[in-house]
Amino acid sequence: MIKYAKIDGYGALGEVGDHLYQWINKDFTKELRPVILVRAYISKPKVFKGIVLSRSQEYYPLEITEDLSDLKSLVGELEVVTDLKELIEDLKGFKLIEAPKNL
């Protein structure tokens, strides 16, 4: 099962939406921690990495540098998306922003 995939430096939060899985960076010293989101099983598997600010409804994509081989062994090849709206279709109000100053 995808929720058991290991990503170094990240903790799995499990299924956070309809076939949407989340991992959060374990570095608790950062104010803004990156997340990795994966949508699988209902279409071609897609992955997004970035900062998601739910209060202000903003997001900033980051380059994926982590080894996702464990994840790929469970769902196959992943399509990398930089627009969060490609991953979460009903994402209303969220907007892409420039890199946060404290990142």
The Cα 2–Cα 38 span in angstroms is: 9
- On whether residue 102 sits in a domain, the answer given is no
Cα distances (Å, whole numbers) of residue 12 to 16, 46, 96, 97:
10, 17, 24, 25
In a domain, 101, yes or no: no
When comparing pLDDT for 56 and 40, which is higher? 40
Number of domains in the chain: 1
Residue 87 located in a structural domain: yes
The predicted model gives 20-48 an average pLDDT of 87
pLDDT tens digits, 43-83 = 889 999 998 877 777 888 999 999 999 999 999 999 999 98
Alpha-carbon gap, residue 81 to 1, rounded angstroms: 22
Range of the domain at 24: 2-96
Q: Does residue 103 belong to any structural domain of this protein? A: no
Q: 0.75 cut: is pTM over it? A: yes
Asked whether residue 78 is assigned to any structural domain, the reply reads yes
Identify the CA nearest to 12 among candidates 53, 20, 21: 21
What confidence score (pLDDT) does residue 96 get?
59
**Residue of higher predicted confidence among 85 and 6:** 6
